[in-house]
Structure 1
Amino acid sequence: MKRICVIGGSRYFGRVLVQRLQATGHRVTVINRGSTRPPAGVEHLVADRDDEAALITALGSRSFDVVVDQVCYTPVQAAIAARAFNGRTRRYVMTSTIEVYDPASAALPAVPPGTPVPEETVDPATWLVRTDLTWHDAAYLQAHYAEGKRQAEAVFAQHYGFAFATLRSAHVLGGGAAEFTGRLQHYTERITRGAKITVHAEALPTVFVHYEELADLLEWAATRTDATGPVNACSDGLLDVHGLGAVIAAQTGRKAVYRRVAAGEPASPFSFDRHYAMSNARARELGFTFSHITDWLPGAVAEALAVTASATS
């Protein structure tokens, strides 16, 4: 049994993670701002992670075997957490994103199209940290989401106060109404209505992960491995926007209709004009086995279609 702290953990795959940790006998503490309570039996600390003094006060004298950080988006947030948990935990696991590899958001080593992107493409141990930028500004953060994640990873990787692992999640799907991004819903609604979907003329494939599989990987990282550094989290199999549309069309009996735009122009979610689909080879080498996207995507689409039908009935 481990003593595990989850920062966030109130919705989607974070909530599933908390439930699974609790079900397997671990002592779980959830830290959030209090808007959502964790399941019964899970300790709940109410604090704003952006307020260092409040976070330290809420922690009191507690210590943990592992901290799982679900909601770290900036190097400022990471620096606060690194100081607050220094001496309180042996291991820190951060949920990151495939977007750290987006070549449109940073000068990154070139990866040939079609080659799965490995973790070493972005090394947090050497990445420059700029806590003086306007990370507190919501518009700035939204525009620099990928860089915020890269720099947050870098703060922890360069902190040395505890072992650190970062799980770089692919695009997360599944969960029906629980899927708060609304991206899959965008496709199910438009294909159901016969509306056009804006895609790039040469849309490139990307990688996905089911929300329950991501929760499995986080549980594994917190309790069953001592691996450190970046680990990519994606199901096997590449999929482009047309393949996604085909799965939805097959279940609706409707044809997906596309409006094509040139590279560089705005398009629907999951239409990419640049390559950065990840490799999951490192996670496999460490002992985690992923499903194939075809194992779960039809079910995720069925859930999204049920939500669409409910919303329009």
Structure 2
Amino acid sequence: MPLSEFDLIYQFFSSLGRGPGVVLGVGDDCALLQVPEGEQLATSMDTVVAGVHFPEDGFPEDIGFRAIAAAASDLAAMGARPLGMTLALTVPEADDLWLRTCSEGVAAAVSAFDLPLVGGDTTRGPLSITVQVFGSVPAGKALLRSGAQVGDQLCVSGTQGDAAAALLVLSGDWPGSHEAAEYLEQRYYRPSARLALGQSLLGVATSAIDISDGLLADAGHIAAASGVKLKIDPALLPLSPALRSYPDQDQALRWALAGGDDYELCFTLPAEAELPPLCTRIGEVVAGEGVDCGLDPGDAGGYRHF
């Protein structure tokens, strides 16, 4: 007999809902979360669709992890501490093996991001996953896109362009080493939502955003919201050894500027502020509007959903 919706939830996901902010998790009509006194609720939602946001033949555990990491990255960009998440899973059929392995990826993300799964939904249809995350942030202290000031440093975490380069790996066209290919594929499927960094930037950074649609596109959101211009020095962009090994370094630079899905943070700091570990200053905030990288990176509009 096929598993019912409630059987699916209980069998594969009901054990993942424990956390200090969870009063009541899976099993009732609503979950109950406790927001600490003096803090505000931060919430965001992301949907990923097979064949659009991830390959249809990807490993289920990687698909599950990646969907949650992408949503958790929004909490990181606000400096929020995770409280919990809900997950809506649409699948063509109740495939026990697929669901079991997907739940392993979800469990890994719950552990990696301290993000309990407190509820969700399952339905039949084309494969897609919707994740809604909840976090808390001290009242009035959330990192916003609108606070960048002329004279600030422009910074990023981690390395840029890896996920975009990974698409070449997934298509079987990567010309480099097996080790580089493995690294890039890991960066695509297992991104690190920079939650600890976001929280450490509270009261320090003047603005922040996560890099999901591409550095130039997402930096443009900061520029527009803050009413300033962001100048990026391409020579300062942090590239991984895997990306530096690609024969066409002009293409590698385009991936770093316009590729998406790295889920690193782009943020601005006052000129005198100390740069956090594993972060790089890539430019500055000046008067004007838009983003200037001094190059023509081709289609720099970033990922477009429509």
Structure 1 length as normaliser, TM-score?
Answer: 0.28
Higher strand share: 2
Structure with higher helix content: 1
User: TM-score, structure 2 length as denominator?
Assistant: 0.28
